[in-house]
Structure 1
Amino acid sequence: MKEWEDWISHGPDLEAAGFSNLKELFIVKCSKLVGRLLEHLPSLGRLVIKSCRRLLVSIPRLRRLCRLEIDGCKEIMVRSTMELSSLNSVVLSDVSSPAILEQFMRGLWQVKDLKIVGCKELTSLCQNGLQLLQNISSLDQLVIEHCPQLLSLAAEEEEEHQQQLLPCRLQYLELRDCNCLVKLPQALLNITSLRKIYITKCPNLISFPEVGLPGS
């Protein structure tokens, strides 16, 4: 559907009748698509949007949405974080800035699996007053991939003041293809639930926490 440019709406009543039972929606490689998603998708549980460079992703009221994947879109907007309280799996790829990430993830306290890919300006999870994971206390798995400017999970000047940089129930941490990553933070020692750390294609990693890794 490379020539698709806009949603065609036939009025709220017909829209509600037409999509009330839709459970999964994939929008892929619609390079000309602009505008916003349909409003009435009450049964939607999974939403995937990829390679829609002109699309402003404004997440509507999707109270049953459990899985969300957004890759290569113009911008992401959430009208109310309460409307995404059902999300438990999120993949965010090719996001333009850490500020957009931080704004999007506010209030996503039910997310268990989070994957961040290709955020080219991300240097740490805590920088310049932004704390990307401060409200996601339920996070079990965190994957950060292909973030070329990532130096550490916390900026050096911020790390001393962060007692809990990562969620306390985190079990799996994966860092992949982050060429500038040089160290892992001392905050890892505070996560007693951590079971697996997977690091690959991080050629400049030279430092683990001074006293080792968590005993678990």
Structure 2
Amino acid sequence: VFKKLKVLEIIRCSDVAMASLDLSPMPSLVKLVIEYSGSFDQITTSIWGLGKLECLRITGWAMERLSSSIGNLSSVQTLDLGGCRSLSKLPESLGDLAALRELILSGCVSLLHLPQLPCSLQTLDLGRCESLLDLPKNLGDLAALRKLILSGCESLVHLPQLPCSLQTLDLRGSYQLLELPKNLGDLAALRELILSKCQSLVHLPQLPCSLQTLDLKGLYRLLELPLNLGDLAALRELNLSGCESLEEIPSSVVQLNHLRTLIVSGCYKLHRLPQLPSSLITLDASGCIHLSQVADISSLQDLWIFQA
């Protein structure tokens, strides 16, 4: 009856139903979604025989480990295990998924380590993996990786070398992170760098000139901006709000001819703003209680300057 079924979604079914689930009569499944938050912690072994499966989403499951048989799913392009809060270990066979493009592990709060990952990956989402201690050593070899989300990885202290293919790097809320990879400036495809609330960062390395968005919100220990700030010719948005230790904005900021938004709110030690680029449309300097000098800002359409 179900031999031609291609999509199956199982939402909030009972423990009894999960215990008796058999997918073997559905060999043509391309997409399988299981949203389950009960106590049954064993995935039916019939999943591993679904050779045509391209998308597997298993969210909220109570399982602690994923079977090494995951490596049998040679056609899987998307694997979503988001919200599996008890999941603490992934099998080495995960690296055998040669078709895998998207791996979502967001909210896997018990996950400590990751195995080697397939070089086909384009998106890796580890948001809110609060216990994650490190990243795979082969991360820098993932030449197809475009998007890396590490927001809320509260236990991460260091990062390995990153692949030059990255376009988005989101580290917001990784507040124990002490430093960024030294090859960050070599990531010629990077467009978006989000470091908000990475509260342990004191210095930043050279940044790639391809950046369009740079979010440094809440880096209250940051003492200075990168020396090559003026070389970020593609930069459109710069958020420095809450950088309480920052005393000056480099004069080279005037070279940022595509900059449209500059946010320096809450930069308490900032006394002056240098000449700003004529491309700037929005300036937020609210709460800069010591700011006494602002250069020509006639090009602005939106301006916030007040003392809180």
For residue 29 of structure 1, report the CA deviation from its aligned partner: 2.9
**TM-score for both structures, normalised by structure 1:** 0.74
For 2:163 and 2:194, the matched residues in 1 are separated by: 17
Residue in 2 that maps onto 1:162: none
Residue in 2 that maps onto 1:179: 175
Residue in 2 that maps onto 1:63: 74
Which AA in structure 2 matches 1:139?
A: L
Residue in 2 that maps onto 1:131: 137
Q: Deviations over 1:119-154 (max 9, x none)?
A: 3333554xxxx6251442221111102111223425
Preserved contact between residue 87 and residue 111 of structure 1 (Cα < 8 Å)? yes
For residue 76 of structure 1, report the CA deviation from its aligned partner: 4.6
Which of residues 143, 150, 153 is equivalent to 2:159? 153
Preserved contact between residue 42 and residue 63 of structure 1 (Cα < 8 Å)? yes
Q: Deviations over 1:7-59 (max 9, x none)?
A: 4366xxxx54x211222222223322232342321222111122212364222
Aligned identity (percent) is 26
For 1:82 and 1:119, the matched residues in 2 are separated by: 19
Pick which of 198-207 and 139-148 moved more. 198-207
For residue 178 of structure 1, report the CA deviation from its aligned partner: 1.6
Residue in 1 that maps onto 2:57: 48
Partner SS for 1:114: strand
Preserved contact between residue 35 and residue 55 of structure 1 (Cα < 8 Å)? no
Preserved contact between residue 139 and residue 169 of structure 1 (Cα < 8 Å)? yes
Where do 1:1-216 residues align within 5 Å? 1=12, 3-4=14-15, 6-8=18-20, 15-16=23-24, 18-37=25-44, 38=46, 39-54=48-63, 56-58=65-67, 59=70, 61-71=72-82, 72=84, 73-78=86-91, 80-81=93-94, 83-93=96-106, 94=108, 96-99=110-113, 101=114, 103=115, 106-125=116-135, 131=137, 133-154=139-160, 165-209=161-205, 212-216=206-210
Partner SS for 1:201: coil
Tell me, which stretches of 5 or more residues in structure 2 are unaligned? Answer: 1-11, 211-308
Partner SS for 1:188: helix
For 2:144 and 2:209, the matched residues in 1 are separated by: 21
Which AA in structure 2 matches 1:178?
A: S
For 2:26 and 2:117, the matched residues in 1 are separated by: 27
Which AA in structure 2 matches 1:62?
A: L
Partner SS for 2:105: strand
For residue 115 of structure 1, report the CA deviation from its aligned partner: 1.0
Tell me, which stretches of 5 or more residues in structure 1 are unaligned? Answer: 155-164
For 2:164 and 2:56, the matched residues in 1 are separated by: 28
For 1:80 and 1:149, the matched residues in 2 are separated by: 25
Partner SS for 2:60: strand
For 1:175 and 1:79, the matched residues in 2 are separated by: 25
For residue 79 of structure 1, report the CA deviation from its aligned partner: 6.5
For residue 177 of structure 1, report the CA deviation from its aligned partner: 1.8
Larger fraction in strand? 1
**CA RMSD of the aligned region, Å?**
2.7
Q: Deviations over 1:155-199 (max 9, x none)?
A: xxxxxxxxxx11122222111222223432322022222222122
**TM-score for both structures, normalised by structure 2:** 0.54
**Which has the larger Rg?**
2
Partner SS for 2:72: coil
Q: Quickly say closer, same or farther: Cα 1:179–1:79, change in 2 above 3 A.
A: closer
Q: Quickly say closer, same or farther: Cα 1:26–1:117, change in 2 above 3 A.
A: same
Alignment length (residue pairs): 191
Structure 1 residue runs of 4 or more that deviate by more than 6 Å after TM superposition: none
Which AA in structure 2 matches 1:8?
A: S
For 2:62 and 2:150, the matched residues in 1 are separated by: 22
Preserved contact between residue 71 and residue 97 of structure 2 (Cα < 8 Å)? no
Higher relative contact order (CA 8 A, sep 6+): 1
For 1:82 and 1:183, the matched residues in 2 are separated by: 27
Preserved contact between residue 117 and residue 139 of structure 2 (Cα < 8 Å)? no
